[in-house]
Structure 1
């Protein structure tokens, strides 16, 4: 799927596929340097982080292990309920491991802050965060994000793992939808 396939549903492209690939290469180089000689476990947060996780893993030159978690604080709506539930937990024991959480977007940071605390309680050597997108509200939460792809404005975005009603995750770029799509 690309911009032409979206027709009038696409309002604008905020980050191109080329910009994403270039930024992933930069982040990968930093992660390789920071974790050289260490046993890194990258943990993707489902479903949105699938694209970021796959592409990040491919640019890394160090061997890494991978695992997945699914957490929810949204219920059926588009705003956080404030109650975090683990829908899928790790299969890997993270005690004494270096853990890098990989996210697609940090909106408010509340769910991720909870997740970081939860994982730190399991005794890892370290827990860090890598996100493709950080939005302004995330600055209000005490959350250290070591690797950031792009700081974007507080707009509803889709593509590169980000969805609207489970659609548009497979766009190779990050963009905004035309208002008629979600006002229907």
Structure 2
């Protein structure tokens, strides 16, 4: 792991996910929840998060791309996998690994809003507000971080590092070649 510096170790991430789960439990008490994970990055966070949610819920996934193998979003969003279930009148919680520019999430939220959900909220593990280019403000945020390129706990660089159990900063020497 010479290419990375640990920002949040496994224990810190576990504590934060538990905390988010408790808040979501309180906010959605008595309601049926549809949790929508944004693939691939959010899958580990989402798996841990839903185990902390003690409510009736359904799971679904979307796979969208705006990065490719780059460290910078292209701004062009492609839907690779759409939802399998109707969200009409449902309370939807979008689970994302990181909110950066917000452009991809804004696009997803606009698409889902047109499908008539009861509500849409966003839960992200990491938020980079300094990079925001869209009016997107997640309701549930694990950590707010500065403008650093992070990997691990589902986040990747060129499909690598997702399996690391911690959130780590990727050293520039890896991606500035």
Q: Structure 1-normalised TM-score?
A: 0.91
Aligned to 2:3: 9
Provide the residue aligned with 2:125 in structure 1: 132
* 1:95 matched to 2:105: no
Q: Distance in 2 between matches of 1:66 and 1:83?
A: 26
How far the C-alpha of 1:17 sits from its partner, in A, is: 1.1
Give the corresponding residue for 2:27.
Answer: 34
Q: What's the CA shift for 1:73?
A: 2.0
Structure 1 gap ranges (5+): 1-5
Contact 1:158 1:175 in 2 (8 A): yes
Match of 1:108 among 101, 106, 111: 101
Give distance in 1, aligned partners of 2:80 and 2:113: 18
Do the aligned partners of 1:46 and 1:70 also contact (CA within 8 Å) in 2? yes
Give the direction of change, closer, same or farther, for the CA distance of 1:33–1:163 in structure 2 (3 Å limit). Answer: same
Instruction: Tell me the distance in 2 between the aligned counterparts of 1:155 and 1:80.
Output: 14
Between Structure 1 and Structure 2, how many residues are aligned?
177
Contact 1:103–1:132 (8 Å) recurs in 2: yes
RMSD: 1.4
The answer (yes or no) to whether the contact 2:32–2:55 under 8 Å persists in 1 is no
Whether the 8 Å contact between 1:69 and 1:89 is mirrored in structure 2 is yes
Provide, for residues 91-141 of structure 1, a one-character-per-residue CA deviation record: whole Å limited to 9, x for no partner: 010001000000000110011011111101100000000000001335442
SS of residue in 1 equivalent to 2:115: coil
Which stretches in structure 2 are left out of the alignment for 5+ residues? Answer: none
1:25 partner SS: helix
Instruction: Give the Cα separation in 1 of the matches to 2:131 and 2:115.
Output: 24
Given that residues 32 and 60 in structure 1 are in contact (C-alpha distance below 8 angstroms), is that contact kept between their aligned partners in structure 2? Answer: yes
